[in-house]
Amino acid sequence: MTEHTKWERVSGNEEEAERIYRKSRSFLGDVWFRFRHKPTALCGFILVLILLVFCLAGPFFTPYTYSEQNNKMASIPPLLTVYPGPEEGSYLYITQGMKLIEVDNEGNLVRQLKKKKDDNAQKRTSFVWDDDTLVYLDYSRLPNTVLDKEGNRIEVSQKKWNHTYLLGTDQLGRDILTRLMYGTRISLMVAFIAALVNMVIGIAYGGISGYLGGRTDTIMMRIVDIISTIPLTLYVILIKMCLDDGLLSIIIALSSVYWVDMARVVRGEMLSLKNQEFVLAARTIGSSTKTILLNHLIPNAMGPILVTVTMLIPSAIFMEAFMSFIGIGIAPPMASLGTMCNDATETLRTNPYQLFLPALVICVIMFAFNFVGDGLRDALDPKLKK
Amino acid sequence: MTKYLIKRVLIMIVTLFMIALLTFCLMHIVPGSPFTSQKQVSQAVLDALNAKYNLDDPLWKQFVDYMIGVLHFDFGPSYKYTGKTVNDFIEGGMPYSGTLGLVTLVFVLLMSIPMGIVAALRNGKWQDMLLMFFATLGVTIPSFVIATGLLYIFSFKLGWTPVYGVDTWKGYILPMIAMGGYSISFLARLMRSSLLEVMGQDYIRTARAKGISEFRVIWKHALRNALIPVITVLGPTIANLLTGSFVIEKIFAIPGLGGYFVNSVTQRDYTTIMGMTIFYATVLIAMIFIVDIFYCLIDPRIKYE
């Protein structure tokens, strides 16, 4: 009796005791949990989303197209150096072609002024402002400047953000922001398709090689060994050369060379998975080789495959930019980040912004996918974490 | 060891043959002949040109002839530049490319290994964070972006280095940094993780327990083992340095092999492309082979199965 006062009897409900209070998490939920708790991975993921919105939705919000040229507005930087114009609230911008452009207070480019007379003796050019006013561009000494009403040089300039072309224009007068959107779209599209095709080829090749094993495996892997010693850069260039200019041939060139790593990864997974009990069980109930491969083995190898694919995307983007940069990429006037960089190198000295903007976007893309890949690797296989 | 060497040499020969065959096939899949151009050429002239370059022979014979030429280090004439042979291009470009490649390799090794060691020894501290931040930058920023950025800052703005050419030693500095950027970052990351792993091993604790100085623990015991993975990837790294030079040579106007290769690609000068590809591939495969042998020599545990 005394024991019972000290120890209270628990109302014995078996089911209550066995109940799992925490919601059980699926494998994917687990991966997502680990993924979003890594700041760099989450940051990369958000960057990828922003890039996708930028390149897919962006073109709907811009009044320009990627190919529309405007020679009057060529090579205008995002940050304008302006001089006060003859009227209140109006400013003048001197283009690299020694023309004057009227800029209003908000930084909108209003119009290009008409040239009237070039006075070589005094080193000045007159432009028509309106019917009875002329403005003068003085190029007697650097920096070139505009003359005020009394004919004195206006030495004080102001900086204004370009409101008409937010990121400026290239040397053919095309809006850089719009071209960046299309360029990002092309780069991402090439990368995604190339990664997908490489994934399919790699899984098929590695899967068959690893699962069948024996002599088939030896021969198939020897071929992979030989291919992997071939410098891929050379072959992408060669394959690209044999095809026409254009998007499709770049995708084909990139799709046909990068599957080797994937094949190796898949084969390694196959070798370790195929001797496990669940494969034996599947074989016992009479599943065909195809079913075992597609329904049992490949889904189990999906983690390493996904990681390899995410790491493949930045290298495909890099390769596309590289090819466009040496001049065998996307045919003009279509924009790609590589061609934009390539076009800009000619005028690097005068227009550095034309190079730095696409270069920055390439770097952001590379960062984003590398971070996502790193995060995915840690999330899918926590054992690998250092 | 001998057996392993023979096997490796055989695989090398097969690989080179495959490369030559593949390149040859790719060149001949292209529609049109090398002499197709904007201006109309009469059939008689075309026939004469084809006969001159033996392009009227059956394909297999052309390939056999070409391969015999390659075995004698003769890569044939250029189709686009009359009177020039592919050998002229290679002999003209190799001194520049070779120097740049070697200088870059030395630079990469001198930078990446100390960076990796410092990062590993200061694991988690600010030095590690800083170095790994730069290493991440180096892996993600494409070499042509680094190259043009450096060119803009140091040649155009500051005027410290020449804008193009390698007439003085200063001309090598920027190409070297731009080309080595990726490899430095990659090797430094590898060195760091490999050294971290080694530092956690039992024999390091044993060495410390013996009471020898920390310097000797790292220098004698940790570093030697940590270098093994780095040496493994050195072959592909040299390959990267050599092929990565296309763009760098183009940007800095260095008259090396890369410039000739890119030009021949854009001008569709087939024999030059083919000769250059085979030459590059040979150099690269030979490099990988040498590194592999070296690797086997320093690590006795590796079996030459």
Name the most confidently modeled range: A4-8, B47-51, B246-250: B246-250
In a domain, B77, yes or no: no
Query: Hey, what are A76's tokens?
Result: 């205008």
Of A134, A161, A188, the residue at which a domain comes to its end is A161
Residues spanned by the domain of B112: 100-257
Beta bridge partners of A102: A92, A111
Of A126, A161, A196, the residue at which a domain comes to its end is A161
User: How do residues A73-89 score in pLDDT, each as one tens digit?
Assistant: 777 777 777 777 777 77
Lowest mean pLDDT: which of A140-149, B138-147, B202-211? A140-149
Domain count of the fold of chain B:
1
What pLDDT is recorded for position A46?
Answer: 92
In a domain, B57, yes or no: no
Helix (H) / strand (E) containing A362: helix A353-380
Among A225, A226, A238, the residue with its CB nearest the CB of B26 is A238
DSSP assignments along A20-43, one per residue: --SPP--HHHHHHHHHHTSHHHHH
Asked if pLDDT for residue A230 goes beyond 70, the answer is no
Lowest mean pLDDT: which of A142-146, A360-364, B234-238? A142-146
Do A364 and A320 have their domain in common?
yes
The CATH number assigned to the domain holding B243 equals 1.10.3720.10
Of A161, A192, A217, the residue at which a domain comes to its end is A161
Do A125 and A197 have their domain in common?
no
Domain count of the fold of chain A:
2
Planar angle of CA A175, A179, A185, nearest 5 degrees: 160
Phi, psi of A336 (to 5 degrees): -135, 160
In a domain, B272, yes or no: no
Q: Which of B145, B269, B282 to mutate to test the interface with A (most CBs of A within 10 A)?
A: B145
In a domain, A3, yes or no: no
In a domain, B71, yes or no: no
In a domain, A21, yes or no: no
What pLDDT is recorded for position B305?
Answer: 46
In a domain, A54, yes or no: no
Specify the higher pLDDT residue, A277 or A125. A277
Lowest mean pLDDT: which of A37-46, A94-103, A315-324? A94-103
Q: Do A362 and B145 touch (CB under 8 A)?
A: yes
Measure in Å the smallest separation between the Cα of B155 and chain A Cα atoms: 10
Asked if pLDDT for residue B60 goes beyond 50, the answer is yes
In the predicted model, what is the mean pLDDT of residues A252-259? 81
Selection from B111, B104, B274 nearest residue A241 by Cα: B274
The total of other beta-carbon atoms located within 10 Å of residue B279's CB is 21
The CATH number assigned to the domain holding A321 equals 1.10.3720.10
- Is A146 strand, coil or helix? strand
User: How do residues A9-33 score in pLDDT, each as one tens digit?
Assistant: 777 676 677 777 777 777 788 888 8
Residue A386 pLDDT grade (very low, low, confident, very high; cuts 50, 70, 90): very low
Close Cβ partners of B259 (under 8 Å, ≥ 6 residues apart): B93, B246, B249, B250, B253
Do A243 and A319 have their domain in common?
yes
Please name the residue that has the structure tokens 């763009």: B247
Asked if pLDDT for residue A245 goes beyond 70, the answer is no
In a domain, B294, yes or no: no
Helix (H) / strand (E) containing A2: helix A2-6
Q: Do B265 and A345 touch (CB under 8 A)?
A: no
In a domain, B216, yes or no: yes
Q: How far apart are CA B206 and CA B222, in angstroms?
A: 12
Do A200 and A92 have their domain in common?
no
Asked if pLDDT for residue A385 goes beyond 50, the answer is no
Asked if pLDDT for residue B131 goes beyond 70, the answer is yes
In a domain, B299, yes or no: no
Measure in Å the smallest separation between the Cα of A322 and chain B Cα atoms: 8
In the predicted model, what is the mean pLDDT of residues A90-103? 76
Amino acid code (one letter) for B246: F
Residue A49 pLDDT grade (very low, low, confident, very high; cuts 50, 70, 90): very high
In the predicted model, what is the mean pLDDT of residues B212-231? 85
In a domain, B207, yes or no: yes
Chain A positions touching B280 (Cβ under 8 A) are: 231, 234
Q: How far apart are CA B53 and CA B41, in angstroms?
A: 16
Do A216 and A156 have their domain in common?
no
For B284, nearest residue in chain A (alpha carbons)? A231
Residue A317 · residue A366 · CB < 8 Å: yes
Do A94 and A215 have their domain in common?
no
User: How do residues A152-167 score in pLDDT, each as one tens digit?
Assistant: 777 677 777 777 777 7
In a domain, A189, yes or no: yes
Selection from B109, B124, B67, B136 nearest residue B275 by Cα: B67
pLDDT, averaged across chain A: 79
Asked if pLDDT for residue A352 goes beyond 70, the answer is yes
Residues spanned by the domain of A152: 79-161
Do A132 and A183 have their domain in common?
no
In a domain, A353, yes or no: yes
Residue A4 pLDDT grade (very low, low, confident, very high; cuts 50, 70, 90): low
In a domain, A208, yes or no: yes
- Is A127 strand, coil or helix? strand
User: How do residues B85-127 score in pLDDT, each as one tens digit?
Assistant: 888 888 888 888 888 888 898 999 999 999 988 888 888 788 8
